[in-house]
């Protein structure tokens, strides 16, 4: 068992007062299993365009159930290097919006979705991911991270201008969501003309940042984590624009900044939606969609942790109806995951799909300079298409 899986399996003891080694010697034992060099996460190369205070104090949760604890940005990077995820809730403030609507989901039955699926293109996915991974890093507090989100916004605007009719163009907005750091999240909204802020909104999301866990100033192309999720839902959006699909209720595509910093971008977005008392019909998240390990069965893995059971069952029905490979469900050990947890944390209904069973996922290359589209034949654009099919099914079935 590699270090990441060892630490994942012991993550139940990494909850609560993590890194308070004077109080919890077992945490000290975890950190002593890996040697961190003095200054390992410093900017030794004087790479320009970064804004990082490694001594800043942050408030962090290691699962939805854990009490938040304080740690530094440097200690966050150490945890990331150990494969341990977290939510950075430093700037998340409680909201009084507790009366969120609960939705039920009838079995999928769209006659439109099958006609849209042939419009998906692995060639288009590859072209977008080649461009998206050309940025040296998409680290959220870097100039290249900022540039990558600006490229993404412009790519979507170009698709809208080139593919959508004038009628549909009037219904589409592409909005950078500005945070306290350099990279923005990107919110794409398609809503009928009579839509209001009270109408339930369907959300499809992925995160657009990347990180090198050896040092955030090193290259991090982030092809699988999570360039793959980004271009997977971008392709679904392209097809909906090309097909002139106008939803009967608001549909949004979210590209979150700073997931690798502790779900920072999605936590900001969710907080703003709570403040506005927005109702969310359901949120589907895609984190890593490209890897098919040699000798393993190609599957869509639907996770059952920190999600809504009804929406997850609906997602499984979508996979059965619209995806051409088997789907499985997997429950992970306790701990933080990805951006869907920001929605779950606030009482919204969310679900998530990923590239493979955890034991077969691409943990050997993500968060390194080797997370590229050419690292192995196991990186598959055809596999990503299955997740684009799932995104289209979710988008149409939830809003048709």
pLDDT at 385: 98
Q: What does the pLDDT average to over 38-49? A: 93
Give the mean pLDDT of 146-172.
Answer: 98
Q: How far apart are CA 109 and CA 1, in angstroms?
A: 43
Instruction: Return the residue matching tokens 């619209």.
Output: 322
What is the pLDDT confidence band of residue 35, given thresholds at 50, 70 and 90?
confident
Q: How confident is the model at residue 96 (pLDDT cuts 50, 70, 90)?
A: confident
Spatial distance between the Cα atoms of 87 and 341, rounded to a whole number of angstroms: 9
- Average pLDDT of the chain to the nearest whole number: 91
SS3 (DSSP) at 172? strand
Q: What is the CATH number of domain 113-399?
A: 3.40.630.10
The reported pLDDT for the residue numbered 141 is 98
Closest CA to 183 of 83, 72, 268: 268
Higher pLDDT, 333 or 224: 224
pLDDT over 50 at 9, yes or no: no
Indicate where the chain has its CATH 3.40.630.10 domain(s): 113-399
Question: Is pLDDT at 5 greater than 60 in this prediction?
Answer: no
pTM here is: 0.93
pLDDT value at residue 31: 53
So what's the pLDDT on residue 260? 97
Looking at residue 94, its pLDDT comes to: 83
The confidence score (pLDDT) of residue 38 equals: 83
Confidence of residue 23 (pLDDT cuts 50, 70, 90): very low
Mean pLDDT of 154-162: 98
Q: Hey, what long-range contacts does 171-179 have (CB within 8 A, 24 or more apart)?
A: 171/246, 172/241, 176/149, 176/150, 177/257, 177/265, 177/268, 177/269, 177/272, 179/140, 179/257, 179/258, 179/264, 179/265, 179/268
d(CA 392, CA 116): 8
Residue with tokens 């605007």: 157
Percent of the chain with pLDDT over 70: 92
pLDDT value of residue 26? 39
Mean pLDDT of 171-195: 97
- Average pLDDT for residues 288-292, to the nearest whole number? 98
User: What phi and psi, each to the nearest 5 degrees, are found at residue 319?
Assistant: -60, -40
The span from the CA of 135 to the CA of 182, in Å, is 15
pLDDT grade for 179, boundaries at 50, 70 and 90: very high
Asked whether residue 273 carries a pLDDT value surpassing 70, the answer given is: yes
Does residue 132 carry a pLDDT above 90? yes
Q: Whole-angstrom Cα distance, residue 297 to residue 357?
A: 10
Find the mean pLDDT for residues 161-180: 98
Question: Averaged over 251-280, what is the pLDDT?
Answer: 97
pLDDT in tens, 361-395: 999 999 999 999 999 999 999 999 999 999 999 99
The angle that helices 143-163 and 122-132 make with each other, rounded to 10 degrees, is 150
Local confidence band at 3 (pLDDT 50, 70, 90 cut-offs): very low
Q: Say yes or no to pLDDT of 340 above 70.
A: yes
């Amino acid at each position: 068992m590699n270090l990441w899986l060892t630490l994942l399996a012991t993550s139940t003891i990494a909850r609560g007062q993590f890194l308070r080694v004077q109080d919890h010697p077992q945490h000290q034992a975890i950190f002593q299993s890996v040697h961190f060099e003095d200054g390992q996460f410093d900017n030794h190369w004087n790479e320009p365009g970064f804004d990082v205070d490694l001594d800043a104090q942050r408030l962090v949760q290691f699962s939805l159930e854990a009490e938040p604890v304080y740690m530094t940005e440097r200690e966050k990077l150490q945890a990331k290097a150990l494969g341990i995820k977290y939510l950075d809730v430093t700037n998340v403030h409680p909201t009084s919006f507790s009366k969120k609507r609960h939705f039920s989901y009838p079995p999928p039955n769209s006659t439109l979705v099958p006609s849209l699926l042939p419009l998906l293109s692995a060639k288009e996915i590859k072209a977008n991911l080649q461009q998206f991974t050309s940025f040296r890093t998409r680290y959220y507090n870097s100039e290249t991270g900022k540039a990558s989100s600006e490229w993404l916004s412009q790519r979507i605007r170009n698709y809208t201008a080139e593919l959508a009719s004038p009628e549909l163009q009037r219904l589409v907005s592409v909005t950078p969501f500005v945070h306290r750091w350099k990279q923005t999240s990107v919110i794409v909204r398609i809503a009928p003309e009579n839509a209001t802020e009270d109408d339930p909104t369907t959300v499809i999301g992925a995160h657009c940042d990347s990180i090198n866990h050896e040092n955030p100033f090193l290259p991090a192309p982030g092809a699988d984590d999570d360039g793959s999720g980004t271009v997977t839902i971008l392709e679904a959006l392209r097809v909906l624009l090309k097909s002139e699909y106008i939803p009967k209720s608001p549909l949004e595509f979210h590209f979150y900044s700073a997931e690798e910093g502790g779900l920072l971008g999605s936590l900001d977005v969710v907080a703003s939606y709570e403040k506005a008392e927005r109702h969310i019909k359901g949120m589907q998240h895609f984190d890593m969609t490209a890897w098919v390990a040699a000798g393993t069965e190609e599957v869509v893995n639907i996770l059952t942790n920190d999600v809504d059971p009804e929406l997850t069952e609906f997602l499984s029905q979508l996979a059965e109806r619209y995806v051409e490979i088997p789907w499985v469900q997997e429950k992970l050990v306790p701990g933080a995951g990805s951006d869907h947890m920001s929605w779950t944390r606030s009482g919204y209904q969310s679900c998530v799909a990923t590239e493979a069973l955890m034991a077969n996922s691409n943990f050997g290359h993500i968060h390194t300079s080797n997370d590229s589209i050419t690292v192995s034949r196991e990186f598959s654009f055809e596999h990503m298409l299955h997740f684009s099919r799932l995104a289209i099914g979710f988008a149409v079935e939830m809003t048709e």
